[in-house]
Amino acid sequence: MTKKNILFDFDGVIVDSFAACFEVSRAIHPILTEETYRKRFEGNINHAFTDQEHDDRCRHDINFFDELRPRLAQAPVFEGMLDVIDELHKEYRLVIVSSTISAPIREYLEGHNIANHFDDILGNDIHTSKVEKIKMVLQKYTLEAGDCVFVTDTLGDMREAAEVGVGAIAVSWGFQRHATLEQGKPFRVVDAPADLLKAVSAYFHQ
């Protein structure tokens, strides 16, 4: 029997990094508001700032990931997520699919002693499209779309996963609100990390 797979977004699902990401994004794009920033995750975040590229106030001298890296290291894990990941690792293959680059993700996971729970980390340095990164996972492990579920906190992620036929479980403690997440028609929206255990089991037994 093919092992089932959980594709985890990183920011907003495992690590509480919204404040850090917004702080750096606003340093680069001073006109950015929190509301506008959250809305940009309704699609691929890599395509979200093209309208500000020629804004005179945009700081082109700031590298987002260079600035984010030390802040990310200090960001907390969402309460309960370490235990949930430990439990899920016993039964499923876990893979990170993120728009943050891979190296600081790996450092963060190592710092919280869960790096060995993840078989792969596919960050923004691997590809800027989560559609393509999910395809890579399917090909590498010879999987069908139904062998995977994407755990995410954004509508944009759900839309990209749907392009590959992969369903999603949304979490409401991250970058986007419950009502926005519902637009992506996830299998379930969960409001606490502990609820992920039942949601994942139900997804693969539906």
In this predicted model, what pLDDT tens digit does every residue of 119-145 receive, in sequence order? 999 999 999 999 999 999 999 999 999
Distance, in Å, from the CA atom of 123 to the CA atom of 110, rounded to the nearest integer, reads: 16
What mean pLDDT do residues 63-78 have?
Answer: 92
Per residue in 72-123, pLDDT (tens digit) is: 999 999 999 999 999 999 999 999 999 999 999 999 999 999 999 999 999 9
Q: What pLDDT does residue 55 have?
A: 58
pLDDT tens digits for range 53-62: 555 566 666 7
Tokens found for residue 3 = 């092992």
Residue ranges and CATH numbers for the domains of the chain are 5-16+76-204 (3.40.50.1000), 18-73 (no CATH)
The predicted model gives 165-186 an average pLDDT of: 97
Q: How confident is the model at residue 63 (pLDDT cuts 50, 70, 90)?
A: confident
| Strands lying side by side in the sheet with 93-97 | 118-122, 93-97, 5-8, 148-152, 167-171, 188-190
Read off the pLDDT band of 149 (50, 70, 90).
very high
**pLDDT the model gives residue 117:** 98
pLDDT at 202 over 70: yes
> At which residue do the structure tokens 């579920």 appear?
149
Q: What percent of the chain has pLDDT over 70?
A: 92
Per-residue 3-state assignment (H helix, E strand, C coil) for the chain: CCCCEEEECCECCCECCHHHHHHHHHHHCCCCCHHHHHHHHHCCHHHCCHHHCCCCCCCCCCCHHHHHHHHHHHCCECCCHHHHHHHHHCCCEEEEECCCCHHHHHHHHHHCCCHHHEEEEECCCCCCCHHHHHHHHHHHCCCCHHHEEEEECCHHHHHHHHHCCCEEEEECCCCCCHHHHHCCCCCEEECCCCHHHHHHHHHHCC
Tens digit of each residue's pLDDT (9 = 90 or more) over 153-168 = 999 999 999 999 999 9
| Half-sphere exposure of residue 204: CA atoms within 13 angstroms, side-chain side | 19
Tell me the whole-structure pTM to 2 decimals. Answer: 0.92
Residue 133 sits at the vertex; the CA angle it makes with 96 and 79, to the nearest 5 degrees, is 20
- For 5-16, the pLDDT digits (tens) are 999 999 999 999
Cα three-residue angle 127-169-174, rounded to 5 degrees: 75
CB 166 within 8 Å of CB 150: yes
Residue 48 — very low, low, confident or very high, per pLDDT cuts 50/70/90? low
Q: CA 206, CA 202: separation in Å to the nearest integer?
A: 6
- Whether the per-residue pLDDT at 44 is higher than 60: the answer is yes
Instruction: Tally Cβ neighbours within 10 Å of residue 24.
Output: 21
Residue 174: predicted pLDDT: 96
pLDDT at 3: 92
The pLDDT of residue 31: 84
52 confidence band (pLDDT: 50, 70, 90): low
